[in-house]
Structure formats: C-alpha cells, structure tokens
Amino acid sequence: MKLNTRLATLFGVAALTMGSSGVALANGTEFFDASHDGAVYLYYFGNVRDTKGAVVDKFMVTVTANNVVGADKRPLRMPARNDVPGHFRTGDVGRAIKESGKPVDPRFIDVMISKPGYRVVRAPKVPDKQGAVELDGWVLEPVPGGK
C-alpha cells in the first residue's frame, strides 16, 4: 500500500470512530452526555469581553454555593478556567451540591470572573433557575498598572 492510501485509511477510521463516539462537542468542549453521566442539574456558560469588545482569555470562573459548607467551614467553591477565548462553561455545580446533601438552590449561588490585571465592570445577575444557565454580558477592564 502506498503511504497516501495508508494515511487516508487511518484518517477515515479515526473520523468514523470519533463520529460514532456519542459525545457532543460545542466550541471544542465536551458537553455533558446525559445518557452517560446522568441528569444535568446546573451549570453556567457565557462570554467574557473587555471594554473594547475584544474576547478575554485565561480567566478564572468561580462558582460559590453559599448554602454548602466544606470541611474548612467555608462555602463550597468550584473554580474553573475558561474553555476557549472569551467563553466559559462550568462543570455541573448542581450535581456537586446535590452530592453534598444540600438542595440545589440558585438563590445561594454566586458566580465570579477574575483575571490578574483586570476588574469586572459588568456582571450578569445569576438567575433563579436550574439546568444550562447562560450568563452573558461579562465585561472586564484592564487595571492601570495591573499585572
């Protein structure tokens, strides 16, 4: 077999394998596969831009469940990095809360975005609902002299 034919066969098999895996991708990120992982309780996703409208990369998203206290006597905090520039999606924070024995109640949840050298100038209100919750409208601004 010629090298080109071998490569074509290899890529064809890889494409068929990936196509039949059953995992849904969005923006290059694996979303929850409910048939594999069970029900999705609560996760947040959205976009982050700077004051000039450009996407922001390398930021941290922290979800705090104030009705769940950890062993350190502090509210449960679940940090996550952004998945692609300007976009984020947290893990299933609702599942983590439920597994701690507490009710999944969005009224007790705070979501914050942070990036060294930036400050938040606009943040959406966290709605009182469960499931896949979109939090768009985050705007960060560089801090003069910030690192």
Work out the angle at residue 133's Cα, subtended by the Cα atoms of residues 74 and 60, and round it to the nearest 5 degrees. 50
Nearest Cα neighbor of 105 from 121, 88, 129 is 129
- Let me know the angle formed at the C-alpha of 114 by 91 and 107, rounded to the nearest 5 degrees: 55
Residue 19 within any structural domain of the chain: no
Sites in the chain below the pLDDT cut of 50: 3-36
18 domain-assigned: no
In a domain, 6, yes or no: no
Distance of CA 12 to the CA centre of its chain: 31
Query: Residue 43: which domain range?
Result: 24-142
In a domain, 74, yes or no: yes
| 43 domain residue, yes or no | yes
Residue with tokens 């998945």: 83
Handedness of CA 114, 118, 120, 122 (dihedral sign): negative
- CB of 28 closer than 8 Å to CB of 85: no
User: Alpha-carbon distance 74 to 62, whole Å?
Assistant: 14
Which CATH number belongs to the domain containing residue 65 in this structure?
2.60.40
**What is the reported pLDDT for 89?**
95
Name the amino acid, one letter, at 141. Answer: E
Position 107 in a domain:
yes
What are the distances in angstroms from CA 40 to CA 8, 23, 87?
Answer: 38, 15, 20
Indicate whether 4 belongs to any domain: no
CA separation for the pair 34, 32 (Å, rounded) = 6
Our count of domains for the chain comes to 1
Report the pLDDT value the prediction gives residue 119, as an integer from 0 to 100.
Answer: 97
Q: Is residue 10 part of a domain?
A: no
Give the pLDDT confidence of 46-61 residue by residue, as tens digits: 999 999 999 999 999 9
